[in-house]
Chains A and B, each alone.
Chain A
């Protein structure tokens, strides 16, 4: 089945550690997105990429980094510079043609120990 796979489902991090969240899609989508979802705050865009080897900052990029070396993969690293990393992280992808909807993975819940 085509879809978006995020791993792990749950992730725990110690203070000062960097952690990387995986996002893989086999939908042949061009664009990929990372969102952070906090209760009552909706979805906030962290980073997005419309093509391999290119990505742009979203609204809350500080403390995060990404790479897009392959079309199907868009990993997100939560660095120690992110002061409040505990959240639910969602990865999405879409074709970049006109008016295509985004498709979402199941998310990764990150908690600080």
Chain B
């Protein structure tokens, strides 16, 4: 079955710490990959996406993600987090031949302490 797994449900960091959130998906073919962020009280917004080409993609607010096909992974990273990065982060995968529906991970809640 098509599925998306986010390994960390809750992460607590101090400001300036480095962040890595794991995302793995179950299908080995061509997929499109997304990270979305939901800041407190705000709507979900796109952080970054990968469709093809350079497997290291850069998004907004200093985030980046690396697509590793052999590991079916698309981990999100940020070298130095800020208090304003406190939010919920969702990984989503668009599988081929699925009417372009997204399969979502359960989300990771990140709290950054000032």
A interface list, Cβ under 8 A from B: 4, 31, 40-45, 48, 50, 56, 58, 90, 92, 94, 96, 98-99, 101-107
Contacts and interface: CB of A to CB of B under 8 A. Distances in A.
Contacts, number: 47
Counting from the closest, the 8 A-B pairs by CB-CB distance are: A104-B44, A42-B106, A43-B104, A99-B51, A42-B104, A106-B43, A104-B43, A101-B46
Contacts of B32: 99
Contacts of A42: 90, 104-107
Given A99-B32, A99-B51, A48 B43 contact: no
A90 B44 contact: yes
A92 B46 CA distance: 12
A102 B106 contact: no
B9 interface: yes
Contacts of B94: 99
Interface in B17-54: 32, 34, 36, 42-46, 49, 51
18 contacts: A42-B104, A42-B105, A42-B106, A42-B107, A43-B90, A43-B104, A45-B102, A48-B101, A50-B100, A90-B43, A94-B100, A96-B100, A101-B49, A102-B102, A103-B46, A104-B43, A104-B45, A106-B43
A41 B106 CA distance: 5
A48 B104 CA distance: 15
Nearest to B45: A104
A48 B42 contact: no
A101 B93 CA distance: 11
Contact of B100 (A31, A40, A41, A106): A31
A56 B101 CA distance: 11
B70 interface: no
B63 to A, nearest CB: 15
A94 B101 CA distance: 11
B43 A107 contact: yes
A41 B90 CA distance: 11
B105 A45 contact: no
Contacts of B100: 31, 50, 94, 96
A42 B46 CA distance: 15
